[in-house]
């Protein structure tokens, strides 16, 4: 499959194809994290950190946030 993409001119080298594939994978993982964060916010699974509550929040286990 890689050689086919290189031989048809879609990529100049196998390394270029692998680089682009890894770049797409990283972007996908970042997008998943963003979507998970948005879902947490929409479901109310978030807390505002402010200068006056940060010590209290960070002193609790994550399960109690």
pLDDT at residue 57, as a whole number = 87
14-29 CB burial, b ≥16 within 10 A, e <16: eeebeeeeeeeeeeee
What whole-number distance in Å separates Cα of residue 45 and Cα of residue 65? 8
What whole-number distance in Å separates Cα of residue 52 and Cα of residue 65? 16
Tell me: the pLDDT tens digits for 5-29? 999 999 999 999 999 999 999 999 9
* Segments making up each domain of the chain, as ranges: 2-64
Whether the CB-CB separation of 47 and 65 falls below 8 Å is answered with yes
pTM of full prediction above 0.85:
no
DSSP letter string, 36-61: HHHHHHHTT------TTTHHHHHTS-
């Amino acid at each position: 499959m890689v050689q086919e993409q290189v031989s048809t001119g879609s990529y100049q080298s196998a390394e270029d194809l692998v680089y682009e594939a890894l770049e797409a994978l990283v972007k996908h993982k970042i997008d998943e994290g963003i979507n998970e964060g948005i879902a947490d916010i929409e479901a109310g699974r978030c807390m505002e950190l402010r200068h006056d509550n940060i010590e209290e929040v960070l002193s609790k286990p994550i399960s109690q946030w």
